[in-house]
Amino acid sequence: MTQFTDLGLAKPLLKALADEGYTTPTPIQAQAIPGVMTGRDLLGIAQTGTGKTAAFALPILHRLGEDKKHAPRRSARVLVLAPTRELATQIGESFKSYGKHMGVTVAVVFGGVKYGGQMRAMAGGVDVLVATPGRLLDHLGEKSITLDGVEILVLDEADQMLDMGFIVPIRKIVRYLPKAPRQNLFFSATMPSEIEKLSGEILNPNPLKVSVTPQATTVDRVNQRVLFVEQSRKRALLGELFDDAGFKRVIVFTRTKRGADRVARGLEQSGVDAVSIHGDKSQGQRERALAEFKAGKVRALVATDIAARGIDIDAVSHVVQYELPNVPESYVHRIGRTARAGADGSAVAFCADDERNLLKDIEKVTRQRIPSFDRRNDKHLGAATAAMPDVGGKPERADTRGSQPHRGQHAPKRNRNHSGGGGGGGGGSRHEGAPARSAGDKPAFKGPSRGGDRGRGGGSRSGAGGGGSSAPRPTGVWSNR
Ligand code: AMP
């Protein structure tokens, strides 16, 4: 198997990788790094969680080190565009940590904070500038940043840029770039036609194309469960899940900002330390919440999709979808928060009666039937842990299962009794700019994945469910959809 030491990366980079404890490149890294090191353009179909940041950061840093020079004032040699401030910050941190033995200079620029610090950071020129499009355009208009020195452009999460209305700003930014030959790296999780068009405009002819199918691998790697539950009992059910000490570091997704605040409050009231992040929170609040969650000071991070996308937090034990997303692809992004870089994870989705259609859409896009429990008629909400996703088999593929009933699932291991909590909760009403995709956009998972694309630990997909155990179905728990 290829090792980082086989790729010809400069010594300071190998040292930084060793510091991180990384020895083996992920598939996208193994495929992208050698070509990008030679200066080729790249079209990468990949999402966060595949190791794609290092797939571009390492060869870029290698190239900078081979041709050391100072960027012009107020400019950068590398420009990375990212859709959200959180992702921009993470990318900036990755460049710093991989480049720490090279003395690389990095600036991160995003909206919602004052301009002064960003202007000071850029004044003398930096090696790498990571920016969100809107704020960068403001700086370009004010001439507090110029793109005269840019030799390498990275566009990350292009499809999310499209969702967030950033395509026009990106085209404007590209017009500020120098005409001199430039290396371009373009990443997107999906390839809707507008993104394909944009990639054609930005990339030089014949880019290296690398495609990993993380949605499929993520879907395969995560133990998933759907719990059918009345809307009014979601709050109690959530509290009950947290009775399980295994729910150590949990991201809870809501559809709305108000819903996120309400769920976080409800958890606090039931004694679970929780914080919320969403688009109405200030940058400082968002950073503090993330830091507390990362440090393990709180067990639950309650988030809306926009705020959580691209967030990379290690060792998230569970993802709970308090409400199903309107956009099926978001389901995949959400569960991907718990299966970082090849790790397995567990995901629980609550589904109220009026969310059944959303569930159908999700199962269509991911081509799987998610094992489910019906919690609507439970007198007590006890036995929630019977529904824990870490005890059963993996979801079955819709395309391999036909009309068979659920097979290969184990009986719940634990059946503790809890006294049920009160009702309340319920979904909020205000929407936070959920990505609006047209029905014509490509689904996140298309067809069987290819063996070579799988993340570490991914075995071959095996038709009807894992294990093949014929454990009895506990009556009244399994759904009979
Ligand atoms: P990304 O897809 O860039 O968001 O990376 C996902 C996570 O994988 C990050 O926490 C990285 O630090 C981690 N990672 C990246 N490359 C490797 C590697 N070769 N081995 C192990 N972990 C990695």
Per residue of the chain (481 residues), what is the pLDDT tens digit? 789 999 999 999 999 999 988 999 999 999 999 999 999 999 999 877 788 999 999 999 999 999 999 999 999 999 999 999 989 999 999 999 999 999 999 999 999 999 999 999 999 999 999 999 999 999 999 999 999 999 999 999 998 898 888 999 999 999 999 988 999 999 998 888 889 999 999 999 999 999 886 444 566 778 899 999 999 999 999 999 999 988 999 999 999 999 999 999 999 999 999 999 988 888 888 889 999 999 999 999 999 987 666 577 777 889 999 999 988 878 888 888 886 655 567 899 999 999 999 999 888 877 788 988 877 665 444 444 444 433 333 454 443 333 222 323 333 333 333 333 333 333 333 334 333 333 333 322 222 232 222 232 322 322 223 233 333 222 222 233 4
Residues 189 and 282 in one domain: no
415 within a domain of the structure (yes/no): no
Nearest CA among 33, 32, 36, 41 for reference residue 181:
41
CA of 16 to the centre of ligand 1 (A): 13
Residues 100 and 206 in one domain: yes
Query: The CATH number of the domain where 343 resides is what?
Result: 3.40.50.300
Name the strands in the sheet holding 106-109, side by side, starting at the edge strand that comes first in the sequence. 106-109, 126-131, 76-81, 152-155, 183-188, 42-45, 208-211
Residues 48 and 182 in one domain: yes
Q: Of 388, 403, 418, which marks where a domain is finished?
A: 403
State how many domains the chain has: 2
CA of 52 to the centre of ligand 1 (A): 7
- Quote the domain boundaries for residue 299: 222-403
For residue 341, the ligand 1 atom closest to its alpha carbon is: 8
For residue 24, the ligand 1 atom closest to its alpha carbon is: 19
Q: Taking CB atoms and a 6 Å cutoff, what residues make up the pocket around ligand 1?
A: 22, 24-26, 29, 48-54, 312, 340-341
Q: How many CA atoms lie within 13 A of 310 on its CB side?
A: 24
CA of 25 to the centre of ligand 1 (A): 9
CA of 51 to the centre of ligand 1 (A): 4
CA of 312 to the centre of ligand 1 (A): 9
- Pocket probe mutation, ligand 1, options 23, 47, 53, max atoms within 8 Å of Cβ: 53
Q: Of 360, 384, 403, which marks where a domain is finished?
A: 403
CA of 1 to the centre of ligand 1 (A): 17
Residues 306 and 264 in one domain: yes
Which residue puts its alpha carbon closest to atom 19 of ligand 1? 25
Tell how strand 152-155 and strand 126-131 pair up. Answer: unpaired
Distance between CA atoms of 242 and 52, rounded to whole angstroms? 33
Which residue puts its alpha carbon closest to atom 15 of ligand 1? 51
Nearest CA among 229, 232, 217, 244 for reference residue 389:
244
Which residue puts its alpha carbon closest to atom 5 of ligand 1? 51
Distance between CA atoms of 138 and 82, rounded to whole angstroms? 15
Per-residue pLDDT at 283: 82
CA of 32 to the centre of ligand 1 (A): 14
- Pocket probe mutation, ligand 1, options 5, 19, 26, max atoms within 8 Å of Cβ: 26
Which residue puts its alpha carbon closest to atom 17 of ligand 1? 51
CA of 50 to the centre of ligand 1 (A): 7
Residues 194 and 280 in one domain: no
| Amino acid code (one letter) for 208 | L
For residue 47, the ligand 1 atom closest to its alpha carbon is: 2
For residue 48, the ligand 1 atom closest to its alpha carbon is: 2
Residues 148 and 71 in one domain: yes
Distance between CA atoms of 78 and 107, rounded to whole angstroms? 10
Distance between CA atoms of 470 and 474, rounded to whole angstroms? 12
- 10 Å Cβ neighbour count for 69? 10
CA of 55 to the centre of ligand 1 (A): 9
Task: Please classify residue 1 by burial: count the beta carbons closer than 10 Å to its beta carbon, then call 0-12 exposed, 13-18 middle and 19+ buried.
Answer: exposed
Q: Of 184, 211, 238, which marks where a domain is finished?
A: 211
CA of 342 to the centre of ligand 1 (A): 9
- Pocket probe mutation, ligand 1, options 22, 93, 210, 215, max atoms within 8 Å of Cβ: 22
Residues 190 and 290 in one domain: no
Task: Please classify residue 156 by burial: count the beta carbons closer than 10 Å to its beta carbon, then call 0-12 exposed, 13-18 middle and 19+ buried.
Answer: buried
CA of 479 to the centre of ligand 1 (A): 37
- Pocket probe mutation, ligand 1, options 20, 61, 86, 95, max atoms within 8 Å of Cβ: 20
Report the predicted TM-score, pTM, of the whole model to 2 decimal places: 0.56
Residues 342 and 240 in one domain: yes
442 within a domain of the structure (yes/no): no
What stretches of 304-367 adopt beta strand conformation (E)? 318-321, 345-351
Residues 241 and 191 in one domain: no
Residues 233 and 376 in one domain: yes
328 within a domain of the structure (yes/no): yes
CA of 186 to the centre of ligand 1 (A): 18
Separation in Å, CA 110 to CA 73, 115, 136, 182: 19, 9, 7, 24
Angle at 311 between CA 129 and CA 271, to 5 degrees: 140
For residue 25, the ligand 1 atom closest to its alpha carbon is: 19
- Residues with Cβ < 8 Å from 207, sequence gap 6 or more? 40, 41, 42, 43, 184, 186
